[in-house]
Chain A
């Protein structure tokens, strides 16, 4: 069985306990304004353009069967509507200015890569994390990957927005050691506005997953100007208090890497800030949530 993968990151430190390998799946039902992996949203391969490497040599123009590339004296335009992500221009570009994001991989191929760092997992209590995108968009692949990984005795985490039918979570729960569960916004209206979907099902699923005894880490992106208000931070603490199996709360401060990447796939990030979040701010948020809950709060 094949899945559409856009990255496998080894020696990942921020996606669960220990040293891990994170497998990023392509496709997401949410479209968060601050998305830090905009190339993960579409369920199809996409052309990724690193303009600073382009010398306007024209190799891509010659290679492209659909005539997507057009060059001027100082500019390189890509017609994304015509582009079929065939990859012809990627192989032709001598400067590696073009890449294709999204690669079909078999479960065993992914696991072969994951297995390479087994020694590091054993020593550090790490393992594999499936992230995205939303892994549940490729539910069958995800389920198979988790099952095969568990069979090999690896520790599994899955990072999810929670936006998927509950029965799917029920089916994978035995193969998941920790859910990394995103809490993006506590106010339903704002949730809809910032992510494009309603948060009712997300909340229901979270309580269900908690009830069935699975461990979760709450992953909370905090975006200055959007959801850094005290009432939302307070809600996060309250939520953790209502649940039994939350092992950690991760505060994930906004960074502009996603914005930079969105330009490379010809998109425009709705949240346009160029600023990294200052550490003092992050510490303040962590402190604020920390005094309102018994669950450890960490920077994610």
Chain B
């Protein structure tokens, strides 16, 4: 329900949706010159609970985000950018003060609303965080081919702290911190902001409590009434003390997560957070296993309803769990819940290491066999030391590596995930072939010499490396700009409170509060670029079948009339076939890219900059990229993640695994997709378990497994309505097959099916 207060708003003319935007804007204006944390807290007050959707009689867990909003404060929301008003149709992920600039056109129902919204948008055009950060970026960054103009980010928060201390405990902590700061005469603004934010949180709990009570009165059955009364009781309890039961913990965690994030929610390591509550309740007998299962399923259901498909990661298992036994118990139940809950969210992520209770791994394989896509597998024995090196942190901290969203690396609850810039590696490669331009003449990099001058492969490779350096330099400047912008304008109170070490330092996350400020560049088309290098090295420099200049012309013409050359390129060794040359090339390029990123990040004052191979942008980014020397035609999709290009891995799973395992985990995260027919999980269950064990023992970082067969998919194309359950995985995320666009469907079918 909207809580419209007296602020000169014409109640009859404005819908609650529009009125809230006006109200929010008013709050911002009133506190424009206050401390950023206070201003933000006052805006949150105008936002919550106003924008949240009501509790429904069938709900067990309270808290639902709106479908859309006009003006909003949070870590991330997808919206039209300010330029939309001038007719430039760009949209993306905004962070901080997020504004939907198409609102006057798309949300207004009448002239009064249009007029009111025009005023709102006029105000935000310069004032939204996106605009403020764009002012920090220079023209080169604004127009860069990295395509990154997004300023939103995801956060994995420390819910352990929330659940242990409870809201009152956190308030005590803030007050204690405040008195220390006061003694030293420091700035208390951030801490005051936190206190207001927690008040808003409590008010929201009580708002939902009232709704639950009202619904209980009109409940259709005694059972429903009891459930709603329990919800009401819990919503009050969590405002006055730390949660005592599994259900209280789930409610508190969920509502905080929802209010503290944005359109992306990142539940994170739930087995750590909820394991003790789960085990205690079961041991005390206050809840049965089936009741606990129902609650987990309810949680899965709110995550599914409120989360975005590409994110919403729940992580189970792995190193660094303080309560491993209880966490394992919760993890087993959560795996079972995902087996039953056949949906694309939450993105269940399963971490494991040698020495972890083997029944979890076994259960995870059973679940993926039935669910078809989840969980995704992450090998901690490889990834923890890898993350330690790539992020430059100790092994103790590296256990917090969090493969967020599509697979980008960040450190849970001590770094934000700056990730919204996307790099087409093949485009940088083509720039090396065109003296810094794309094949249609757009400048995308520095001049690195005409191809005629590359008389050795090393000269070509070195030109490409310069293009890589340039891209990484851009990337680090983009991220740095975001950090500076958020530092000046936003405190991100919800996220800061549950991040190391904001409270201790008394500072907001971007204002020196959070332990690490780093970014993860999302790279696409690694395999296409590496396979291009391999092919050129062999055909141009080794066998001298044609000159590089000729080849570039043929590529620019998209192989027209030169299918013979394309075939030659296609027949060159390809990554994913356990071929020394091709695999070595990719590993070497990967190493260089991450070294370059690291240096560029350091130079701009970021704690780390890594590059991850993620998805699913490989499809979209391939569309506007010219033909590449691996034989890929103009516009065809890139290879997804750290995987062979579809159809190029001809030697089977073991060969692909051998290839992938050659890539050094010390250089950022990589996703690898494996699509398996269901038989692997039935008749060949034992052999498959061994297959994965060896892959991970060899140093495989990660695997996304899809269980499906070609017939399923072809049948699904013909009769989509019958195959709505077929889920497929595209690297880091999953989607219903029938929802995908035809090009992607074809690609998935074309991919090697083992």
Residue on B nearest A59 in the bound complex, by CB: B564
Q: Which residues of the partner chain A approach B564 to less than 8 Å between Cβ atoms?
A: 59, 92, 94
Q: Which residues of the partner chain B approach A10 to less than 8 Å between Cβ atoms?
A: 651-655
**Would you list 25 pairs from A and B whose C-beta atoms are within 8 A, ordered by A residue?**
A9-B652, A10-B652, A10-B653, A11-B653, A11-B691, A19-B687, A19-B690, A19-B694, A57-B563, A59-B564, A93-B567, A94-B563, A94-B567, A95-B563, A95-B567, A96-B570, A117-B658, A119-B698, A120-B654, A120-B690, A120-B691, A123-B690, A124-B690, A124-B691, A299-B683
A18 CB-CB contact with B under 8 Å:
yes
A13 CB-CB contact with B under 8 Å:
yes
A116 CB-CB contact with B under 8 Å:
yes
B658:A18 contact, CB within 8 angstroms: no
Bitwise, B186-208 to A at CB < 8 A (1) or not (0) is 00000000000000000000000
Choose one: B653, B658, B683; the contact of A116 (CB below 8 Å): B658
A9 to B654, CA, bound (A): 10
B11 CB-CB contact with A under 8 Å:
no
B684 CB-CB contact with A under 8 Å:
yes
Bitwise, B716-754 to A at CB < 8 A (1) or not (0) is 000000000000000000000000000000000000001
User: Which residues of chain B from 682 to 696 have any CB-CB distance to chain A below 8 Å in the complex?
Assistant: 683-684, 687, 690-691, 693-694
A11 to B684, CA, bound (A): 12
Q: Can you list the 6 inter-chain pairs with the closest CB atoms, starting with the nearest?
A: A94-B563, A11-B652, A124-B690, A10-B652, A11-B654, A11-B653
B217 CB-CB contact with A under 8 Å:
no
Kindly list 4 other residue pairs between chains A and B, CB separation below 8 angstroms, not including A19-B694, A124-B694. Answer: A9-B652, A10-B654, A120-B654, A124-B690
CB distance from B298 to the nearest CB of A (A): 37
Q: Which residues of the partner chain B approach A11 to less than 8 Å between Cβ atoms?
A: 652-655, 691, 754
A189 to B172, CA, bound (A): 92
B566 CB-CB contact with A under 8 Å:
yes
User: Which residues of chain A from 64 to 100 have any CB-CB distance to chain B below 8 Å in the complex?
Assistant: 92-96
- Size band of the interface chain A makes with B: 20 to 34
B697 CB-CB contact with A under 8 Å:
yes
Bitwise, A4-37 to B at CB < 8 A (1) or not (0) is 0000011111000011000000000000000000
B578 CB-CB contact with A under 8 Å:
yes
A119 to B657, CA, bound (A): 11
A18:B698 contact, CB within 8 angstroms: no
Q: Which residues of the partner chain A approach B578 to less than 8 Å between Cβ atoms?
A: 116
Q: Which residues of the partner chain B approach A96 to less than 8 Å between Cβ atoms?
A: 567, 570
A92 to B653, CA, bound (A): 30
A13 to B754, CA, bound (A): 11
CB distance from B146 to the nearest CB of A (A): 36
A93 to B691, CA, bound (A): 37
A299 to B651, CA, bound (A): 24
CB distance from B753 to the nearest CB of A (A): 13
CB distance from A109 to the nearest CB of B (A): 14
Majority secondary structure, B binding face? helix
Bitwise, A171-215 to B at CB < 8 A (1) or not (0) is 000000000000000000000000000000000000000000000
Residue on B nearest A94 in the bound complex, by CB: B563
Residue on B nearest A55 in the bound complex, by CB: B563
| A10-B652, A10-B655, A11-B754 known; A120 vs B694 contact (CB < 8 Å) | yes
| A10-B652, A10-B655 known; A18 vs B687 contact (CB < 8 Å) | yes
Q: Which residues of the partner chain B approach A12 to less than 8 Å between Cβ atoms?
A: 652
Q: Which residues of the partner chain B approach A57 to less than 8 Å between Cβ atoms?
A: 563
Q: Which residues of the partner chain B approach A18 to less than 8 Å between Cβ atoms?
A: 687, 690
Residue on A nearest B563 in the bound complex, by CB: A94
CB distance from B320 to the nearest CB of A (A): 27
B693:A123 contact, CB within 8 angstroms: yes
CB distance from B25 to the nearest CB of A (A): 60
A119:B687 contact, CB within 8 angstroms: no
A13:B690 contact, CB within 8 angstroms: no
Residue on B nearest A92 in the bound complex, by CB: B564
Q: Which residues of the partner chain A approach B691 to less than 8 Å between Cβ atoms?
A: 11, 19, 120, 124
Bitwise, B539-571 to A at CB < 8 A (1) or not (0) is 000000000000000000000000110110010
B693:A117 contact, CB within 8 angstroms: no
A94 to B651, CA, bound (A): 22
User: Which residues of chain B from 624 to 671 have any CB-CB distance to chain A below 8 Å in the complex?
Assistant: 651-655, 658
Residue on B nearest A298 in the bound complex, by CB: B683
Choose one: B563, B570, B683, B694; the contact of A123 (CB below 8 Å): B694
Residue on B nearest A8 in the bound complex, by CB: B651
B654:A117 contact, CB within 8 angstroms: yes
Q: Which residues of the partner chain A approach B652 to less than 8 Å between Cβ atoms?
A: 9-12
A92 to B570, CA, bound (A): 14
User: Which residues of chain A from 113 to 128 have any CB-CB distance to chain B below 8 Å in the complex?
Assistant: 116-117, 119-120, 123-124
Bitwise, B568-605 to A at CB < 8 A (1) or not (0) is 00100000001000000000000000000000000000
Residue on A nearest B567 in the bound complex, by CB: A94
Q: Which residues of the partner chain A approach B690 to less than 8 Å between Cβ atoms?
A: 18-19, 120, 123-124
Q: Which residues of the partner chain A approach B654 to less than 8 Å between Cβ atoms?
A: 10-11, 19, 116-117, 120
Residue on A nearest B683 in the bound complex, by CB: A299
Residue on A nearest B661 in the bound complex, by CB: A119
Residue on B nearest A116 in the bound complex, by CB: B578
Q: Which residues of the partner chain A approach B684 to less than 8 Å between Cβ atoms?
A: 13
CB distance from A57 to the nearest CB of B (A): 8
Q: Which residues of the partner chain A approach B658 to less than 8 Å between Cβ atoms?
A: 116-117
Bitwise, B234-250 to A at CB < 8 A (1) or not (0) is 00000000000000000
Most buried by B among A12, A18, A123: A123
A19 to B684, CA, bound (A): 10
B687:A124 contact, CB within 8 angstroms: yes
Q: Which residues of the partner chain B approach A95 to less than 8 Å between Cβ atoms?
A: 563, 567
A94:B566 contact, CB within 8 angstroms: yes
User: Which residues of chain B from 407 to 432 have any CB-CB distance to chain A below 8 Å in the complex?
Assistant: none
A120 to B651, CA, bound (A): 15
Most buried by B among A9, A13, A116, A299: A13
Q: Which residues of the partner chain B approach A117 to less than 8 Å between Cβ atoms?
A: 654-655, 658
Most buried by A among B566, B567, B687: B687
A13 to B688, CA, bound (A): 9
B697:A119 contact, CB within 8 angstroms: yes
CB distance from B739 to the nearest CB of A (A): 29
CB distance from B749 to the nearest CB of A (A): 15
Q: Which residues of the partner chain A approach B754 to less than 8 Å between Cβ atoms?
A: 11
B694:A119 contact, CB within 8 angstroms: yes
A57 to B652, CA, bound (A): 31
CB distance from A79 to the nearest CB of B (A): 24
User: Which residues of chain A from 95 to 114 have any CB-CB distance to chain B below 8 Å in the complex?
Assistant: 95-96
Q: Which residues of the partner chain A approach B563 to less than 8 Å between Cβ atoms?
A: 57, 94-95
CB distance from A6 to the nearest CB of B (A): 15
Bitwise, A256-300 to B at CB < 8 A (1) or not (0) is 000000000000000000000000000000000000000000010
Q: Which residues of the partner chain A approach B697 to less than 8 Å between Cβ atoms?
A: 119, 123
Q: Which residues of the partner chain B approach A116 to less than 8 Å between Cβ atoms?
A: 578, 654-655, 658
A106 to B281, CA, bound (A): 66
A19 to B680, CA, bound (A): 12
Q: Which residues of the partner chain B approach A119 to less than 8 Å between Cβ atoms?
A: 694, 697-698
Q: Which residues of the partner chain A approach B653 to less than 8 Å between Cβ atoms?
A: 10-11
Residue on B nearest A12 in the bound complex, by CB: B652
A57 to B567, CA, bound (A): 14
A94 to B652, CA, bound (A): 25
CB distance from B488 to the nearest CB of A (A): 53
CB distance from B653 to the nearest CB of A (A): 4
A207 to B658, CA, bound (A): 41
Residue on A nearest B655 in the bound complex, by CB: A10
A9 to B698, CA, bound (A): 21
Q: Which residues of the partner chain A approach B566 to less than 8 Å between Cβ atoms?
A: 94
Q: Which residues of the partner chain A approach B693 to less than 8 Å between Cβ atoms?
A: 123
Residue on A nearest B695 in the bound complex, by CB: A120
A120 to B697, CA, bound (A): 10
Q: Which residues of the partner chain B approach A94 to less than 8 Å between Cβ atoms?
A: 563-564, 566-567
Q: Which residues of the partner chain A approach B698 to less than 8 Å between Cβ atoms?
A: 119
CB distance from B284 to the nearest CB of A (A): 42
